Amino acid sequence: MIEYGLPLRRDIATAMRRYRPELVIMLNHHTTWSTGAWNTPDHVAVAHAALDAAADAGNRWIFCRFASTAQTSRH
């Protein structure tokens, strides 16, 4: 089971720092779809963590211990 939290945000932010994507495509972060159908909790958790991690990855003061280990060159 996937849970939203700092460990998930840290892992995603570390990957973003390492690979430095130009575009990040995420899952639907809303609890429901436009049709009213429920979205799955793991999709919501990962999407929220990815949104937060995108901001975290650009902030050198957040998860700074992991920032120095991430590669800084483009692939």
User: What's the whole-model pTM score?
Assistant: 0.81
Can you give the pLDDT at residue 67? 57
Nearest-angstrom CA–CA distance, 24 and 3: 20
Dump pLDDT digits (tens) for 53-71. Answer: 999 999 988 877 765 555 5
Residue 1's Cα: distance from chain center in Å? 16
**What per-residue confidence (pLDDT) applies to 56?**
93
Handedness of CA 71, 73, 4, 63 (dihedral sign): positive
